[in-house]
Amino acid sequence: LQALLAAAEGLSGQLDGFTAESADALRSAVVAAKAVNEARADKTQTQLDQAAGELQTALSGLRLKPAGVEKQVLQDVYDQAKLLTNTDGSFTAASWQALQHR
Specify whether the CB–CB gap between 29 and 52 falls below 8 A: no
Q: Taking Cα atoms as reference points, which of 14, 38, 42 lies closest to residue 26? A: 14
Going from N- to C-terminal start, the domains of the chain cover 2-60, 71-100
52-102: pLDDT as tens digits? 999 999 999 999 988 776 777 778 777 877 777 888 887 788 888 877 776
What is the phi/psi pair of residue 64, to 5°? -65, 145
Average pLDDT of the residues of the chain: 87
Distance CA 42, CA 28 (A): 21
